[in-house]
Amino acid sequence: MTALAPATWWRGLGGLTRSGSPVEGLSWGLYDFANTIYSFAIVSFAMGPWAVRYLGEGPGTLAFTLAASISVLLNAIVSPPLGAMSDRTGGRKAYLLVFTVMCIVPTALIGLVGIWAGLVFFALANFGYQAALIYYDAILPDVARSETRGRLSGVGVALGYLGTIFAGLLYGLTEDANGDSTALSFVLVGFLFALFAIPIFAIVRELPRSREPFRVTEALGSWSQLARTVQHARGSPGLLRFIVGRFFYTDPINTAIAVMSLFAINAVGFKASEARYVLITLTVVAVLASFGWGWLVDRIGPRRTLLAVLVSWTVGLLIIGLVVAKIPFLMAGAILGSGLGGVAVTDRLLLIRLAPPALVGEMFGLYGLAGKLSAVIGPVLYGGIVFVLAPGLGTVAYQVAILSLLVLMVIGYLIVRGVPEGATRPGEGQLADEATLEPAVVPPGELPR
């Protein structure tokens, strides 16, 4: 019981930081809490139904998914130069502030303008959200001691899940009598993001580092490095195959996260407020299931556990695609929610086993880029199918769209099935926790970083 006492926990949090300050550690982690409020409330819950309300089911779904995909694609293109710029010029908090503001201000304005301007603001906000994560992750080594980065990162993840639940519950105060979002809903999300992001800027201190001018040629060099990284991946048995497989299996996961509320409302028949509680429940299931998947990894290894996770997702998508009713949807949602935690637990560890120790950091960069690109194709595919088929087929269009994601999941499974288990490495669990990367799978609502 002593270990769970608040004072003991608080001292332990201070022990994770370079400065010994628990306030600094909490201030860093609260940014995870803050940005998850945005990702859950806007990306996964509000923006899709908002677009459908004004544009209709087909056009609204397509417009939302296009805006989300374009913002992620642009971020994937500029991520390597942005990272290189940060490394050369220093001052990561300044970059973090710029992109955080780029997310907060457009978010607050979405409900105050017309729908097309609102979609543009959403794309800007989502780009800012994605870009800010590059610098948020990069600040972790300045806050945590090298041997405790994994644990402090875990604190951030836990606060992120709490942010999902907090946002889901508080958001309901701004809905109208029908349970739909209002202009105040978007203002509230922007305000809460800003409020809980303040501590990282006010309290966290960056380590001093040399500052050098950044040249355009270095931006191009960051992309040439990507080509070299792919060549390096080819030299490790199964590594590039795993990265390709990850692209396919995270695509339907990313898409499901983004469109789950749309499907629940327009296909299954939930009210918007009910869909919000469904997403909160998925978050809780993902947290609880991650412990079970972690136990399984220790016994049969990350590759076989990952394959089991992908089978569970295949079953969940098949149920949703074939049976459009509330009870089967909730059953399938529980399966998919458990799989979210499973992918997060397993695939980072599998990459570490496949990559040469000297190239782990480089391979995590490729791993993160695959995650970003996978968030581009699936949403557009889903939105395009609904746009084309909904006028004539109604609910069946949503089923076809979900089954298209099932095809991608099966492709990913078949590719990963041919990947070797890889070599067990000392401290691999800590390496997986400490990896500063674009996360594979995140709480419902949070598109992969």
> Which tens digits make up the pLDDT trace of 88-107?
666 788 889 999 999 999 99
Res. 446: pLDDT tops 50: no
Of the ranges 6-10, 138-142, 266-270, 438-442, the best mean pLDDT one: 266-270
Kindly state the percentage of the chain with pLDDT values over 90.
34
- What value does the mean pLDDT take over residues 148-172? 81
pLDDT at residue 82, rounded to an integer:
73
User: What is d(CA 275, CA 412) in angstroms, rounded to the nearest whole number?
Assistant: 28
Decide which of 349 and 434 is more confident. 349
pLDDT band at 75 (very low <50, low <70, confident <90, very high): confident
By C-alpha distance, which of 253, 257, 229 is closest to 412? 253
Please, are residues 119 and 59 in contact by the beta-carbon 8 Å criterion? no
Please, what is the average pLDDT of the chain?
Answer: 83
- What value does the mean pLDDT take over residues 303-316? 92
Radius of gyration of the chain, Cα coordinates, nearest whole angstrom: 21
Stated as kind and residue range, the H or E segment containing 337 is: helix 326-354
pLDDT band at 123 (very low <50, low <70, confident <90, very high): very high
- What value does the mean pLDDT take over residues 392-414? 92
Tokens of 258: 């983004």
Q: Other CB atoms closer than 10 Å to residue 319's CB: what's the count?
A: 18
User: What is d(CA 337, CA 316) in angstroms, rounded to the nearest whole number?
Assistant: 9
By C-alpha distance, which of 281, 275, 321 is closest to 49? 275
- What value does the mean pLDDT take over residues 233-255? 88
Res. 213: pLDDT tops 80: no
User: What is d(CA 76, CA 410) in angstroms, rounded to the nearest whole number?
Assistant: 25
Res. 320: pLDDT tops 80: yes
DSSP per-residue codes, 343-372: HHHHHHHHHHHHS-GGGHHHHHHHHHHHHH
pLDDT band at 436 (very low <50, low <70, confident <90, very high): very low
* Superfamily in which the 20-205+223-421+428-434 domain is placed by CATH: MFS general substrate transporter like domains (1.20.1250.20)
Res. 133: pLDDT tops 90: no
Phi, psi at residue 144, to the nearest 5°? Answer: -95, 150
Q: Which amino acid is at 53?
A: R
